[in-house]
Amino acid sequence: MDQIKRIGRELKYKGKILDFYEDTMQTPEGHIMKWDYLHHNGAAAVVPVDKDGKIYMVSQYRSGCDKMSLEIPAGCLNSGEDRKTAAARECEEEIGFKCNNIELLLKFYSAFAYCDEYIEIYCATDLVPTKQNLDEDEFLEVQKYELEDLIDMILSGEISDSKTIAAILAYKEKYINRK
């Protein structure tokens, strides 16, 4: 099967975490189209679980939906940083806990129809209290939840962040349902 191919890419805007491009695409029949494309340097996230099985979450304002959002801790990669290291760093920075055990839970593209953001999500256990160290533009509140309460919040639409939904459901399937 013939494929659509990119024949051009023009940077329209360079942002702090996203670069916006206009791609020129050609169909197998020769038609030319313009597509939007967002480049993201990548991210990592973590499902921090305490010894009692409660999950740490962060509540923060998100301008895209203009409201507070309940999410797992997550963030962009630092230059040269691998995703596992970034997930552990985000756990400590956002909720103030170092994780002595961290393992891959799942990985995915957040919105590959128009963006190349690739996220790896880890499960962190054996948490040791340290100190929260937020970035200067981060304002969040840390809360702990029972897994079933988070599932209910997902199903009711109260939690609507895609990485958080995927992470909580994957955590339940991998660590609870398959025990």
Do 76 and 128 lie in a common domain?
Answer: yes
Do 27 and 66 lie in a common domain?
Answer: no
| The one catalytic residue among 136, 138, 141, 146 | 136
Does the pTM exceed 0.75?
yes
- pLDDT of 179: 66
Do 72 and 15 lie in a common domain?
Answer: no
Residue 136 bears catalytic tag: yes
What is the residue whose two structure tokens read 């200067």?
Answer: 136
Q: Which domain holds residue 54?
A: 43-107+122-177
Do 65 and 49 lie in a common domain?
Answer: yes
- pLDDT of 175: 85
* pLDDT of residue 1 exceeding 70: no
113 part of a folded domain:
no
Do 102 and 148 lie in a common domain?
Answer: yes
- pLDDT of 125: 96
Q: What is the mean pLDDT of the chain?
A: 94
pLDDT in tens, 32-88: 999 999 999 999 999 999 999 999 999 998 888 899 999 999 999 998 999 999 999
d(CA 166, CA 116): 17
- Token pair belonging to 86: 């970034």
d(CA 139, CA 58): 10
